[in-house]
Structure 1
Amino acid sequence: MDENVLFDVTRQALLISVQLSAPLLIVALVAGVVIGLFQALTSVQEMTLTFVPKVGLMLAVFWVSMTFMTGTLASFFTDLLIPMIAGGR
């Protein structure tokens, strides 16, 4: 395998990992900021208030975007990695 091919596959794998993790991380960030603002405005400092809604929202987004994540990973493997392993590239 040429090192240029290795770098290209690594770059594509990192791009796909960013695409797959972005929805969950964005939801966690937005939920954290909203809950933090709510806590700052109301002076409520309860630890479960930050944890439970954030985890619930992340589970909901994961459930909704699961087909996108599965399709992206499956196409990456079937279009790029499996042909390379089989010697087609």
Structure 2
Amino acid sequence: MTETEIADIFRQFMWTAAWMGAPMIATALVVGIVVGLFQALTSIQEMTLTFAPKLLAMLLVFWLTAGHMARLLANLFDSIILPAIAGS
């Protein structure tokens, strides 16, 4: 296995990780902005207020996208990892 092949596998791992984490990160960003705007409009300065909505939203998004994430990971292993292990 050459350095180029190893770098390509690593690149594929990084892109797969980015696509798997993107829905939850985007959800945390949107919920954080909405709660922050709510806090600014109502003058509520509670630092822990954003934790529960973000946690619930991220759990919901994880539950909704778990199948998609599993398909991405299975596709990565079927198309990249297993052929690299087999040497083809």
TM range (shorter): over 0.9
What CA distance in whole angstroms lies between the structure 2 residues aligned with 1:57 and 1:47? Answer: 18
Give CA-to-partner distance per residue, 1:25-72, whole Å, 9 cap, x none: 000001001100100110112234210010000000000000000000
Greater relative CO (CA pairs within 8 A, separation 6+): 2
Q: Which residue of structure 2 aligns with residue 61 of structure 1?
A: 61
Give CA-to-partner distance per residue, 1:1-32, whole Å, 9 cap, x none: 11111111111111111111100000000100
Q: Percent identity?
A: 48
Shift, 1:87, TM fit: 1.7
Q: Which residue of structure 1 aligns with residue 87 of structure 2?
A: 87
Provide the alpha-carbon RMSD of the alignment: 0.9
Give unpaired runs (5+ residues) of structure 2: none
What CA distance in whole angstroms lies between the structure 1 residues aligned with 2:51 and 2:14? Answer: 28
What CA distance in whole angstroms lies between the structure 2 residues aligned with 1:4 and 1:80? Answer: 14
